[in-house]
Amino acid sequence: IGISIPTSHAPAVRAASNTYAGVRIGDLSEELTVNEKSGRLLLKLTVRNEGTEAYTVAHPTGQNYDFALLDAKGREIWRWSDGMAFTQALQTYTLAPGASEELTAEIDRKTYKELRDRAVLVAAGLKDTNVLVCAAVPDPRSAGASPRIHGDIVIGTGGW
């Protein structure tokens, strides 16, 4: 069972126009930046190997990461990988010591307009690591405000 407990978010409160959250587990750090720009939602997950040895994750498919948009009850209302096809072969994802990679996704204007009023959290992470990072969905009315730092506690190995 996976549980994401918002530690700094009340459903009635929306974050600034961009939000950030990060987590470090062992030698892997994940940072999620969420930015609303021109009616689109831009998502960026930066994964970094903070260790002195290669960080390796085995995947049963060609999918290395995913993003999801969640409502106030933690239900998934959008997923980056929906409708995509990935190779169905074992593969290994490796980050060299000190290396980082930026993984991105975008929710287009039309889709985000339909979801915006229900969207509360963005969840993201490397697949098959059991590490997720969650950030509040930005509020376009707060354009120009400082980024809001939002952290969640993710417990278990379930879904979002």
Looking at the chain, the whole-number percentage of residues with pLDDT higher than 70 is 77
How far is residue 45's CA from residue 58's CA, in Å, rounded to a whole number?
A: 19
How far is residue 75's CA from residue 52's CA, in Å, rounded to a whole number?
A: 38
Q: Per-residue pLDDT for 80 more than 90?
A: yes
For 36-60, how does the pLDDT look when each residue is reduced to its tens digit (9 = 90+)?
999 999 999 999 999 999 999 998 9
The one-letter code for the residue type at 19 is: T
pTM: 0.78
The one-letter code for the residue type at 144 is: G
User: What is the reported pLDDT for 157?
Assistant: 52
pLDDT band with cut points at 50, 70 and 90 for residue 151: low
Q: Which domains does the chain have, with CATH numbers?
A: 3-155 (2.60.40.2360)
Q: Per-residue pLDDT for 155 more than 50?
A: no
